[in-house]
Structures are given as structure tokens and as C-alpha cells.
Structure 1
């Protein structure tokens, strides 16, 4: 099970509210020792997401940057949702709904 599809419902009281975000998760041969590669399909404006590719940057997203073998796909998705709701990120202007990378 290498390739996964994920969905995140935008957190309430944020610019992500009522949006559904799709992403892919690819677990390489060294998973779970190494983090998966996470890429948004739905366009999203977050500091931890490369704006040209949708790739979640491990250097800017602590869950990937400090990956632990015990982390699950659920934790990964929940932490991304928390990032959306976090302080300055919750008010960031977002691309039009339905746009993709």
C-alpha cells in the first residue's frame, strides 16, 4: 500500500471553512522509518505547501520534518488540518474553490 488518497475538510471559522481538500500520500520503500511524500491536489495557500507543485514541505511542516515511526496517516491529516486553522494561516486568502495543482 504505497499510494493513498486523502481528504481534509476545511476547519470552521477559517478561510478554509466549507472546502474539501484532496491530496495524495506516497509511502516510499523506507516508510514508516521515513515520512511519506504528501502533495495537495486541491490548490491551497499555506506556508508549508509549495505553491507551484502542491508538495507539503517537510522543512516547513514539523510533522514531516520531525517524523516518528509511530505517526499514522490519520495524525498526518489531522496535523495538516490544524495547520490550516493555526493563527495567521486561518485567514490567508485562498485560491478559487475547485482549482488544482
Structure 2
């Protein structure tokens, strides 16, 4: 089976993100519509219900390097959040502590990451963690 080139893969993700064809709990799109390399993306995650994240909207920055989708993108929260897989000083999602990045597969995409981060927020050990003041950023 042939591998889909990086730009075709990112164009598919862009189309899906722009048309809102993914789940309502997360969204993503290019940070700059003039970015022909399709490297820098914005993402949002709606906090899961019945957790300290409920009714919050988290903003993230996603950087798809030249090796994407063979290598995972770099993910950084812009909105402050208290999660074990997020560096408390920078907002960077740490690949060694976040299974989706650590165990990256080419079939994964930005939507996979955002949904898995949302699931991480809803786990019993994380859903009651005290959170920074709403609206605060890294």
C-alpha cells in the first residue's frame, strides 16, 4: 500500500476541520491561511462534562513538522491546564507521558490527539484536578 504524501494528508485534515466534519468536542484549522507548508495549526477542546474542565474551552497550538504524519506533531496548550501530560511551565504536551504521542501511528491525526487529550481530562484521576483560573494562558 502506498503512503499518502504529507501535504495531501494535511489537505484532507484541513478540509475535514474547515467543514466541521469531526466531533463537536474539538476543532482544528490552520493558524495562518497563507501557510503553504501547513505547519502551524490551532486546535480547541471543549472540556468534558462532569469534570473540573466542564464549560471550558481550551486552545492549543499544533505544529506538524516535515516528518508528519510519520512523526507526531508538537502540541502545546495556550490555555493553562493542570494535566500530568502537560508541562506546567510551558503548556507543552510531553510525549513520554501522553500515550498517543509516545505510541504514535501514521494512521493517527490531529483529531485523534485532541480527542485523546479530552479523554485524558475525563479520566477518574484527572477530572477532579484543580485547574488554573479560567482564561489564563501560558
Q: TM (normalized to structure 2)?
A: 0.73
Counting only pairs closer than 5 Å after superposition, residues 26-45 of structure 1 correspond to structure 2 as 26-45=63-82
Measured on the aligned residues, the alpha-carbon RMSD in Å equals 0.4
- Cα deviation code 1:19-43 (max 9, x no counterpart): 0000000011111110000000000
Q: How many residues align?
A: 101
2:60 aligned counterpart, secondary structure: strand
Matched, 1:98 2:135: yes
Long gaps (5+) in structure 2: 1-37
When normalised by structure 1's length, the TM-score is 0.99
Task: Please say which structure displays the higher CA radius of gyration.
Answer: 2
Deviation at 1:72, TM superposition (A): 1.3
Which of the pair has the greater relative contact order for Cα pairs under 8 Å at 6+ separation?
A: 1
Gaps of 5+ in 1: none
Distance in 2 of aligned mates of 1:49 and 1:73: 17
